[in-house]
Amino acid sequence: MGKAIWNELVQNHWSKEKHIMKCESARKNWMTKKDGSITRHAGGSISFGAHRERMKKELGREVDPFEVFKRTHKKKQGTGEFVDTKSKRISENYRENLNFDDQSSHPSFDLSSWCDVAGCPTKGRVYGYDRDQNFERSCGASLFPAMDGMRSNEINNEFSKEIEEMRAARKKMEEEIEESKKKLECNHGK
C-alpha cells in the first residue's frame, strides 16, 4: 500500500470522530467485567472446532466439548488456572452437576447440564459451546421453547440493522471516494 493511500485512510477514516468513538466503545465492551473479571479465553484466534480437531489428533481419541472448554479457558494449554472467574464457576458447577472431578474419568458430555450451568443462549449461542456444533438441533428448541420465536425475531432485527449500517457506510464511502476524485482532478488540473 502506497504512502499516499495510507495517509488518506488515516486522514479520511481512522482519525474521524465516529471511528475513534467506535474503537473506544469496542475497547470498553472488551474490558467489561463479568462475574468479577474480564472474560477471556486461551484459545487465541483458533476456533473451538480447530482446537477439538487438534486435540483428537494429539490424544488419538474423540474429545468432548468440556475437554475443549478446559483447554481454551485454562492457562498452559488447559493444565493451569482458569483465565477468568466465569470459566471457573461454570466448570465447577458442571462437574458438580455430573458428580465428577478432574482426576476421575468423567461421563460423556451432557448438553442439558451444560446449558443449566452456562445459562440461556445469547444471540443463539451458549457460553463455551462450539458454534460449529448444532446447538439448535441438540438443545435449543427442547430446552428453550419460549425463546425460539424471540430468537428468530432478534436475529432478523440484527441482520436488518446490520444491513442498514452497511448501506450507510457504503454510501458514505462512495461520497468520500467522489470527494477524493474531485480533489485529485483539481490537483491534476493545476
Domain hosting 79: range is 36-120
Distance of CA 28 to the CA centre of its chain: 15
Residues 23 and 47 in one domain: no
- When mean pLDDT is compared across 20-29, 131-140, 176-185, the lowest value belongs to 131-140
Q: Which residues contact 65 (CB under 8 A, 6 or more apart)?
A: 52, 109, 114, 128, 129, 130, 133
Residues 13 and 26 in one domain: yes
- 42 phi and psi, to 5 degrees? -110, 20
Q: What is the mean predicted confidence (pLDDT) over 13-41?
A: 73
**Residue 65: closest CA among 17, 16, 100, 115:** 115
Residues 8 and 51 in one domain: no
The number of distinct structural domains making up the chain is 2
pLDDT tops 80 at residue 3: yes
Whole-prediction pTM value? 0.51
More confident residue, 185 or 176: 176
Distance CA 86, CA 162 (A): 29
Domain final residue pick, 120, 142, 175? 120
